[in-house]
Amino acid sequence: MVVNAGVAMIGDPLTFDPDAVDRMIDINVRAPYHAAVEAARTMADGGRIIVIGSVNGDAVPFAGAAAYAMTKSALQGMARGLARDLGERGITVNVVQPGPVDTDMNPADGEIAGMVMPFMAIKRYGKADEIAGLTAYLAGPEAAYMTGAMHTIDGGFGA
């Protein structure tokens, strides 16, 4: 099971719309938790749950991202807890934490690129297939002993 739900909104926490924060919590935290639990109910022993998080769960190098970072940090605690809860069944739970990736939501030539590019060690956005490669590895048999872990793939954004 790959849980890949997320929205990102940034803004001054003193003026940020509380409903926007609640929406991020609903989509970025509640939905992945319930999806993972429901999947585990019917998942065979030895299954895999992979949650797509964000490097912003660990690093917040610019202002305005407190609420978003909070939601991505919550996924870390969720994965660690579910790893313990599901470990006896051999089900692994891991988080993939991408940095800036060229997507429709955050294009490499978009308005956010100028803000994040100075923080990149590798001066480019990531590619979706790079994130997919790490995700496929975590879904495979070679990752059967890896659980409750955060796997950052961010071009050095959080370095």
Which helix (H) or strand (E) segment is 156 a member of?
none
pTM equals 0.94
Domains recognised in the chain with CATH numbers:
2-153 (3.40.50.720)
Contact predicate 123/69, CB 8 Å? no
Compute the distance between CA of residue 31 and CA of residue 65 in angstroms, rounded to an integer. Answer: 20
Closest CA to 99 of 74, 136, 62, 64: 62
User: Bridge partners of 151?
Assistant: 96
**Per-residue CA distances from 35 to 47, 70, 125, 134 (Å):** 14, 19, 29, 21
The residue whose two tokens read 């978003």 is: 68
User: Could you give the residue numbers annotated as active site?
Assistant: 68
What is the residue-level pLDDT of the chain in tens, covering all 159 positions? 999 989 999 999 999 999 999 999 999 999 999 999 999 999 999 999 999 999 999 998 889 999 999 999 999 999 999 999 999 999 999 999 999 999 988 899 998 898 889 989 999 999 999 999 999 999 999 999 999 999 999 999 988
Find the largest Cα–Cα distance for the chain.
47
Compute the distance between CA of residue 16 and CA of residue 117 in angstroms, rounded to an integer. Answer: 25
